[in-house]
Structure 1
Amino acid sequence: MDPVISSSDFGQLRAFVTVGEVLSFSRAAESLGVSPSALSQLVRGFEERVGVRLFNRTTRSVSLTDAGERLFQRVRPAVAELGAAVGQVRDQGERPAGTVRVVSFHSAAELYLRPMLAGFHAAYPDVVLDITLDDAVSDFVGGGFDVALRLGEVIEKDMIAVRLGPDLRQVAVASPAYLARRGTPAAPRDLVDHDCIRWRWPGTTAPYHWEFWQDGDWFEVAVDGPLIVSDKRLALDAALDGIGVAFAVDHRVERHIAEGRLVPLLEAWSAPFPGLFLAYPRQRQMAPALRAFIDHVRAVAGAHEPA
């Protein structure tokens, strides 16, 4: 081992990395389970050992010096890898148990949760899955959930996001009977003169504006019509009954289109967007039960962990 960093210095190195991640001695101390004064001594001892100041400290802020930033970028992955290796060895002796709280969009649950439940229970009988189905977009960590399955476009940027499936595409559809009665829209703006079956995001008051793609950019159309729903299956049923035009994800309507019950509209303006993802916060040590759940969902979906 390099004589500058011996095995006895790992505690100081871990303290340095933790402070560098959160830029707060009090928050880093809480994360490590030590007092702020003890943490300060560890970092100061590390600075003396390497012979350079690593942090700029004021009464109100903490920041990395240039030297500190260079060292932080190099050693952070190594410290994380060491911690993960030790945690993996420890977790191998633990049978996953406890409760995993999951919140999922209805569509994600249908595609990726329902198919894995029986197999997961057989493999991990001591794990309880507490699943909430909710299409509302909210802070799932703040809501007390461990993991979420939702559209990629609504996942917070600081989350780990594992793609579960391909990109999705929304397409306007209507029944042949409706089109015979009202005519076929030639462009998205024509929809304002049609009976559209509108959908409202749970937790919102205004109906969703339909989104279309043209010349490299998205634009919205505020459609109108006789029906507003919060359930997309009901919107699709209404379109099948000839009430009006619906806006649905392509895999939900492809069978109806193939069998002639629905006609796709305005496809030239329908573009793909990020599909469904599994999301969870970055964490140093993951509970074995949560790790087992994430791995099981990924296996069902054929997904790969992000780098």
Structure 2
Amino acid sequence: MDTLLSSADYNQLRAFLAVAETLNFSRAAERLGVSPSALSQMVRGFEERLGVRLFNRTTRSVVLTEAGERLFERVRPAVSQLGDAIGQARQQRERPAGTVRIHSFRSAAEMYIEPILPAFARDYPDVVLDVTLDDAVVDVVAGGFDAAIRIGEVIERDMVAVRLGADMRQLAVASPDYLAVHGAPAHPRDLVRHRCIRWRWPGRPIPYAWEFFEDGAWFEVVVDGPLIVDDKPMALRAALQGIGIGFVVEDTVREHIASGRLVPLLEPWSARFPGHFLCYPQQRQMAPALRAFIDAVRAGQPVRDSVD
């Protein structure tokens, strides 16, 4: 028999097994939902295909031939295993299991992934979340990730994007000690004369140019200063220590502004931009484990992060 069975081969094999198990064409036909005559034709076609008689039939009885016995003994366990494998596959569809690989910006993971972990681990014990925290913008598919959480402006066009939070804005901030010595900029372009704490996208050689909004358009200011980092919490801590002016997401400094440890600067030019999104490739059939993660993140309540 061919290694790969055609649909006709498989139907004939099922017919043979049903008759071999019941030794009765009527009962076997009822089990398969076909007429006895159709079942008889399938068995006869199977015998012709193999070139050997599998049953000895009389008007009163049906018995397996020696060749039929040997075939039945070998095929029955294999078909049973195949049925178990198909059942397990269906179970995977119904019960989330397996590994979900996620790429997330660090701040987004603190807001949207960490809060759901206890409940997710309890509700989906067979799902493993493999989370990579990285502020670099990577190709989700090429990197082998199932989903990513990042800001809206760096999402590939062919990805499905689910909004997770409100729009965000970045603020220039400085400590009172810094302002007492250097003064405050009156316009974003004045920043070129200040000591700024610069941030660099991971994997990129040039620090990020600070972005502001004026007269309906965004513009960039290339700043300078004593410190370049690729870790935003470190940049914030440096601003708190008076090393220079930082450029940070507003949500991360609310408490510091409220306490007076930081002073917001240039707010009229600080416009909002699309916030965090959960994105994943378009797919016809989504793995249950990935669907469970997406649903959990969307249902979770984000928390605001702060750096002490």
TM-score, normalising length: structure 1: 0.68
Kindly indicate whether residue 66 of structure 2 is the aligned counterpart of residue 95 of structure 1.
no
User: What's the secondary structure of 2:192's corresponding residue?
Assistant: helix
- The C-alpha deviation readout for 1:213-249, integer Å capped at 9, x for no partner, is 0001000000000000111111111111111100000
Distance 1:98 1:92, change over 3 A: closer
Q: Please report how far the alpha carbon of residue 172 of structure 1 lies from its aligned counterpart in structure 2 after TM superposition.
A: 0.2
RMSD between aligned residues = 1.3
- The C-alpha deviation readout for 1:243-271, integer Å capped at 9, x for no partner, is 11000000111111110011000000000
Quick one: distance in 1 between partners of 2:129 and 2:190? 46
Kindly indicate whether residue 191 of structure 2 is the aligned counterpart of residue 191 of structure 1.
yes
Kindly indicate whether residue 191 of structure 2 is the aligned counterpart of residue 181 of structure 1.
no
Kindly indicate whether residue 124 of structure 2 is the aligned counterpart of residue 109 of structure 1.
no
Listed as ranges, the gaps of 5+ residues in structure 1 are 1-89, 303-307
Counterpart contact for 1:165–1:301, Cα < 8 Å: no
- Matching residue of 1:161: 161
- Matching residue of 2:204: 204
User: What's the secondary structure of 1:144's corresponding residue?
Assistant: coil
- Matching residue of 2:280: 280
The amino acid that maps onto 1:198 is R
Listed as ranges, the gaps of 5+ residues in structure 2 are 1-89, 303-308
The amino acid that maps onto 2:227 is L
Quick one: distance in 2 between partners of 1:296 and 1:166? 18
Equivalent residues in 2 for 1:202-281, closer than 5 Å: 202-281=202-281
Quick one: distance in 2 between partners of 1:91 and 1:296? 20
The amino acid that maps onto 2:232 is K
- What number of residue pairs does the alignment pair up? 213
Counterpart contact for 1:192–1:223, Cα < 8 Å: yes
Q: Please report how far the alpha carbon of residue 94 of structure 1 lies from its aligned counterpart in structure 2 after TM superposition.
A: 2.2
Distance 1:242 1:125, change over 3 A: same
The amino acid that maps onto 1:219 is F
Give identity over the alignment, percent.
Answer: 70
TM-score, normalising length: structure 2: 0.68
Counterpart contact for 1:166–1:275, Cα < 8 Å: yes
- The C-alpha deviation readout for 1:9-63, integer Å capped at 9, x for no partner, is xxxxxxxxxxxxxxxxxxxxxxxxxxxxxxxxxxxxxxxxxxxxxxxxxxxxxxx
Quick one: distance in 1 between partners of 2:287 and 2:93? 13
Q: Please report how far the alpha carbon of residue 93 of structure 1 lies from its aligned counterpart in structure 2 after TM superposition.
A: 6.3
User: What's the secondary structure of 1:219's corresponding residue?
Assistant: strand
